[in-house]
Amino acid sequence: MKKKRPSSPKRKKSTSAKKPFRKRLRYPVLLACLFALTGMLLYCLFLAALIDKRFSGRRWSIPSKVYSDSTLLYPGQHLDKELLVKKLKNLGYRASESSVDQKGRYAVAPDGIRIYLHDLVTASQRRPGFPVHIRMDGTIIASITDLEYGEPVAVLEIEPEEIMLFYGAERERRKLVSIDRVPQHLIHAVLAAEDRRFYSHFGVDPRGILRAIYTNLRHGGIRAGGSTITQQLAKCYFLTPERTLIRKCKELFIALTMEAMYEKNIILEIYLNEIYLGQQGSVSINGIGEAAQFYFGKAAEHLSIAESATLAGLIKAPNLYSPYSHKERSLQRRNSVLNAMHTNNWLYAADLHKALQTHLETVGYAVRQRQAGYFIDYVSGQLKNLYSADDLASLGLSIYTSLDTWVQSAAEKALSNGLARLEETNPSLLRAEPGRRLQGAIIVMQPRTGAIRALVGGRNYAESQFNRITQARRQPGSAFKPLVYATALDSFTPSTLVSNAEKTYTVDGTPWTPDNFSEVLAETLPLRDAIAGSVNRPAVAVAMQAGLDNIIQTARTMGITTEFKPYPSLALGSFEVIPLELARAYCCFAADGMLPYPLAVKDVVNDRGSVLQRTHIEIVQAVSPAKAFIMNSLLKSVVTDGTARSLHDLDITFPAAGKTGTTDNYRDAWFIGYTPDLLALIWVGFDDGTSIQATGAGAAVPIWAELMSALTPHISGSWFMPPPGIVQKVICPQTGMLAKSETCPNPGKEYFIENLAPSKPCRRPHTKNPLHKIMKGIHGIFKKR
């Protein structure tokens, strides 16, 4: 029997050698894992600091918005119903056939218009929307009734229009919403579309990832994604859109870190405000709040179930499922989201059926052209003295201005029509090159407040951004004469006879003889007739007696800053002025002598509703109320009997005052006209000073007439009342003294500053005219009848 062979010592040795190797391997692996975990922890801490910095500061750059003034309507006011409908459309209102059952709807009827107003939010008030009926009697508002309570409304305020946004480089529109004000069905729609297990996973959903892999394998392509809402937020908020493994790992770590740091509702709120949901021209629509306005013209809190499902369906591919460009595809996607809501028990069967039957109706939109470009540039210049460009593009300020969009549209139309008429009448004014075309400018102001209601700085903003109201310096011609006569009212009266004699003045050793525009034979003229007819020689004579330095001082007091020299030609407007400053000076006459500040920016409000800037109107007493009243009376004669008397033929029936102006060789044509309610300055000319071959009366007055005819709702038809210190006397027009009824021909009433009123009767031996006596007797007979 053989003995068992002993085991090989080598095999024993090799077995015993394996144990130390495993032990040696265990420690490096544990160390490597420890380093990896430490690295991941440090990376997560780094991410936590990054996330906290982003989320604790300003999360988004919200462009500041510029608004027009609100619109006031009241019984007795003239109203163009078509213009009102146009304004409502600009404000996002939608037409209805008859009833107005929700905010943002209007219905036009033969007897007027019904409107369910939006909520009104301005710097000074917040008012919930309510339904009203504006009943019309022809073109007059007969009554305004609150349809909710059946009560009359004395004054109805319609919200301001958004006229501009200060975009940053991203050009994003976003209206922030709070998760507390978002309807539950909107949240359920988003979860059904993007992440139904959002409230149960920890930022990453393994089940969702596996489900997406299975779906994609089954269809042989990418049909589903496994990203949670938290991952989507991590990707669009912190990462670039590149598709790499490293970026995906970063996304996972950021999602996990966010979930560890913040509650689910905070993450969802940030997501709802961040997501990209469409495009309006070059501007992206971001967030549920902005999308609700863009697609449905309402706040997110008022979205219906069907509308909420439509927006939720957009998240996957906003341009592919846009209800504007792909309505059928959008409808199918909406219905898919609605069915998913029902599957997840977030929607009752009855509500599902109702929502599926709902038509997909959007508010509609058009890429609107830049509004009131010259006015916006003027406002921007003022704002940039207070805020940087970055602040305006990111702080979400609301900037409320004085602009009236109705007045602005009327001004733009009147200028365009007026310049086209001039070119049609005189084809030599036509220019092919945009930079050399005939130009014009208009500014409309409220005289007492200085509020700029419209500003048109040129014929076409796209062709030329040069603002001829605020930047140009032009000779005013005879439009400067009112400042001369205002200075002279310390010693002159409307009936003072002023010299029309030819006279030569010496200026720096050079003789200068002013001529009248047309022949005037009389050697003297009453001051009223001299200004009404814009006669040059009397203006220079008055200026020399009043004192050229005094006239310059008057111009400075009335807000004109350009350089003047004490030359006799100053009286004829030979020195340049800025049109805005000239308009402001005329406001002084219509405001009882008070010089208003040109008001464009009224209030600046931050994104929390607090007023940051409020323009305090600085008003200076430039001339006395008595002098201002006399100037209004004198300038009214320009309209009734003088160079602007053609206004009567142009259907201007309300009382107005104003002054024409024409410069040498017809380089500039002016008319500044006003009522107690509105003042409008019109300028026409070429930028290079080429002759326009027309006077202020021929070129500017018709434009003013067309503009003011369109603004009858803003014009009361009232006139200035005499202030204390004004008296009225019956005078002899040939002497300016108190008239003798028996001897003075054509005596008339005249206004005077009390201490300058004539006290002595006329002593001139007037020639007795038998025909005059006969006509006077006939007049007496008719008077008795």
Q: Which residue numbers are catalytic?
A: 194, 478
> Which helix (H) or strand (E) covers residue 216, if one does?
helix 206-219
Please report where in the chains the tokens 């999308």 appear, as a residue.
Answer: 291
635 within 8 A of 661, measured Cβ to Cβ: no
Question: In 322-442, which ranges are continuous DSSP H helix?
Answer: 327-343, 349-356, 373-383, 389-394, 405-425
Q: Which amino acid type is present at position 741?
A: S
Residue type, 331: L
Q: How far apart are CA 640 and CA 532, in angstroms?
A: 9
Distances in Å between the Cα of 175 and the Cα atoms of 181, 286, 288, 673 are: 13, 8, 8, 43
What does the longest C-alpha to C-alpha distance in the chain come to?
Answer: 182
Q: Which amino acid is at 580?
A: L
Residue of 468, 521, 534 whose CA lies nearest to 696? 534
What 3-state DSSP class applies to 395? strand
- Looking at residue 697, what DSSP letter applies? I
What whole-number distance in Å separates Cα of residue 43 and Cα of residue 35?
12
Token pair 């008397």: residue: 645
State the DSSP H helix or E strand holding residue 594, giving kind and residue range, or none if neither.
strand 594-595
Q: Is 94 helix (H, G, I), strand (E, B) or coil?
A: strand
CA–CA distance, 245 with 349 (Å, rounded to integer): 42
Of 317, 232, 304, nearest in space to 274 by CA: 232
CA 742, distance to chain mean position in Å, is 61
Place of tokens 């009433």: 749
Asked whether the beta carbons of 693 and 666 are under 8 A apart, the reply is: yes
CB neighbour list of residue 222: distance below 8 Å, 6 or more residues apart: 216
Q: What is the H or E stretch that residue 27 is in?
A: helix 9-56
Pick from 652, 594, 587, 590: nearest CA to 618:
594
SS3 755: helix
Compute the CA torsion angle 455, 459, 462, 468 (nearest 10 deg): -50
How many angstroms from the chain centroid is the CA of residue 10? 97
Half-sphere exposure of 305 (CA within 13 A, CB side): 24
What are residue 653's phi and psi, to 5 degrees?
Answer: -105, -15
Quote the tokens at residue 442: 């208009």
The DSSP string of 353-379 is HHHHTS---------PPPPSHHHHHHH
| Main-chain dihedrals φ then ψ at residue 752, nearest 5 degrees | -140, 150
Burial class (CB in 10 A: 0-12, 13-18, 19+), 148: exposed
Q: Which residue, 294, 341, 334, is CA-closest to 316?
A: 334
- CA–CA separation, 277 vs 353, rounded Å? 26
Separation of alpha carbons 671 and 698, rounded Å: 10
> How far is residue 302 from each of residues 77, 145, 346, 347, 558, measured CA to CA in Å?
33, 25, 18, 18, 52
Q: Which of 563, 562, 559 is nearest to 445 (CA)?
A: 559
Residue 77: name the closest of 157, 163, 148, 146 by CA. 157
